[in-house]
């Protein structure tokens, strides 16, 4: 019962945080950048100043931005790629922050990248293994333990993602401020937007950790 209350609370918080992020992105998308640079221009300038060669391209969707180290590309959602707002600048700079992490081999990014194969495997099988483990916990408790191990890998990935995202935002804000493209109230808007984005990763990590604890309790109580 306690778990379901906790799970419900985390789900509600997750919804509120995600909705808050969307609202702030929409609000700051209407705050023009004095330098009149689009998100793609911001990305190009930040990459060039850090000596990084990467392709900058638009992708469909909203808040679907990501850096792909496999082909060295900074992928910006259409509203970010073509907009000259402070929201677009913040998001573009954040993704370039990941490119800088990749270049400097930032330790937590290296760790997260090394976990990708294991996480891909675990994510594929963990729902089925956990389901079978719970149904057969009396006869085959080892199956549930295997599922817990697989889920623990995904939880570790969520936890490692936190410092990676926070550091990318820190690099983004530092560059925006140093470059002078945003100052005063506009700079605070960029900080607020990236802070709201960071909260989504915090909630995701907490939800994953709470779920992991739940399965561990199921195993210890029934075994």
Beta bridge partners of 66: 75
* Helix, strand or coil, per DSSP, at residue 72: coil
* Helix, strand or coil, per DSSP, at residue 169: helix
Q: Digits of tens for pLDDT over the chain (223 positions)?
A: 666 777 777 778 888 888 888 888 889 888 988 788 999 999 999 999 999 999 999 999 988 999 999 999 999 999 999 999 999 999 999 999 999 999 999 999 999 999 999 999 999 999 999 999 888 878 888 999 999 999 999 999 999 999 999 999 999 999 999 988 877 888 899 999 898 888 889 988 988 998 898 889 888 886 5
What pLDDT is stored for residue 26 in this prediction? 86
b/e sequence 108-135, b meaning 16+ C-beta within 10 Å: bbeebbebeeebeebeeebeebbeebee
Is residue 154 within 8 A of residue 208, CB to CB? The reply is yes
Count Cβ atoms below 10 Å from residue 9 Cβ, excluding itself. 11
What pLDDT is stored for residue 89 in this prediction? 94
Q: What are phi and psi of 187, to 5 degrees?
A: -65, -40
State the catalytic residue, choosing from 95, 138, 165, 188. 95
Catalytic annotation on 95? yes
What pLDDT is stored for residue 94 in this prediction? 96
What pLDDT is stored for residue 157 in this prediction? 96
* Helix, strand or coil, per DSSP, at residue 2: helix
- Answer whether 0.75 is exceeded by the pTM: yes
Ranges of each domain in the chain: 2-222
What pLDDT is stored for residue 3 in this prediction? 63
Compute the distance between CA of residue 190 and CA of residue 14 in angstroms, rounded to an integer. Answer: 21
């Amino acid at each position: 019962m306690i778990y379901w209350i906790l799970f419900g609370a985390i789900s509600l918080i997750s919804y509120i945080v995600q909705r808050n992020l969307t609202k702030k992105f929409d609000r700051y998308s209407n705050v023009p950048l004095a330098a009149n640079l689009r998100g793609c221009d911001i990305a190009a300038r930040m990459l060039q100043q850090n000596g990084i060669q990467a392709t900058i391209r638009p992708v469909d969707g909203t808040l679907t931005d990501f850096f792909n180290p496999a082909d060295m590309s900074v992928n910006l959602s259409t509203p970010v790629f073509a907009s000259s707002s402070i929201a677009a600048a913040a998001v573009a700079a954040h993704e370039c922050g990941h490119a800088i992490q990749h270049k400097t081999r930032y330790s937590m990014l290296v760790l997260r990248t090394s976990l990708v194969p294991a996480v891909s495997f675990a994510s594929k099988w963990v729902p089925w293994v956990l389901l079978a483990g719970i149904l057969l916990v009396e006869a085959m408790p080892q199956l549930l333990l295997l599922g817990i191990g697989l889920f623990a890998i995904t939880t570790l990935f969520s936890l490692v993602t936190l410092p990676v995202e926070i550091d990318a935002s820190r690099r983004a804000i530092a560059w925006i401020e140093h470059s002078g493209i945003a100052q005063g109230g506009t700079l605070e808007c960029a900080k607020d937007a990236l802070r709201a984005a960071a909260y989504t990763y915090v909630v995701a990590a907490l939800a994953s950790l709470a779920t992991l604890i739940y399965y561990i309790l199921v195993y210890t109580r029934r075994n």
